[in-house]
Amino acid sequence: MPDVDDVLGVLTEQIETRFQMPIDELRQAVSAAPQASPEAATIVRWHGLLSEAQQVLDGAEDVLAEALARHVEAVPDGEFVELPEHVMQLANTVNIAHTVREGRAMTVRHLLDPQAIGNRTAVWRSPAPRRGPALPATAPSLPAAGQAPVRGAVR
């Protein structure tokens, strides 16, 4: 079982469970016949985008870790020194890569959730077509009202 922090691994496992085949076989099946299952094709596409985002995040984290290690080695023990601008930029890159990965993971989670809005097929449709308009087709009539006496008013 994948590590709980391994977003890609957890979602890959859910996809494999849902389609009852390993992700590589599912990718090949979708590649061979993309129209056979539009749902599978969409999920495979977003899984690929998620995998790509995970690779970018891993690489950005590695570069940041190396830069931080070099910075720590250069700083005398016990001394506080602000991080250089290039290290802060690397940290910002990691933050952006993380945000992209989380957005793509959220999309895959949504696609896997059968109860999510947009994923329900017949749940919202009524079994029989409506026979008339949902609202009255004519304007409502107002009751005829005479003038009501007004006390203390000048006419």
pLDDT tens digit sequence for 122-148: 444 444 555 655 666 666 666 666 666
Nearest of 64, 56, 58 to residue 83 by alpha carbon: 64
Q: Match 């090949």 to its residue by tokens.
A: 28
Distance, in Å, from the CA atom of 60 to the CA atom of 22, rounded to the nearest integer, reads: 28
Main-chain dihedrals φ then ψ at residue 68, nearest 5 degrees: -65, -40
Question: For residue 114, what pLDDT is reported?
Answer: 87
Judged against a pLDDT cut of 70, whether residue 155 lies above it is answered with no
Question: For residue 133, what pLDDT is reported?
Answer: 59
Question: For residue 117, what pLDDT is reported?
Answer: 83
Q: Match 């790509």 to its residue by tokens.
A: 52
Nearest of 53, 50, 12, 20 to residue 37 by alpha carbon: 20
The model's pTM: 0.71
Question: For residue 112, what pLDDT is reported?
Answer: 94
Q: How far is CA 135 from CA 113, 127, 138, in A?
A: 33, 20, 9
Distance, in Å, from the CA atom of 20 to the CA atom of 103, rounded to the nearest integer, reads: 25
Q: What is the pLDDT of residues 47-79, one digit of tens each?
A: 999 999 999 999 999 999 999 999 888 887 878
Question: For residue 40, what pLDDT is reported?
Answer: 94
Q: What is the pLDDT of residues 70-122, one digit of tens each?
A: 988 888 787 888 899 999 999 999 999 999 999 999 999 999 998 888 775 54
Main-chain dihedrals φ then ψ at residue 29, nearest 5 degrees: -65, -40
Distance, in Å, from the CA atom of 47 to the CA atom of 45, rounded to the nearest integer, reads: 5
Tokens of 91: 């940290």
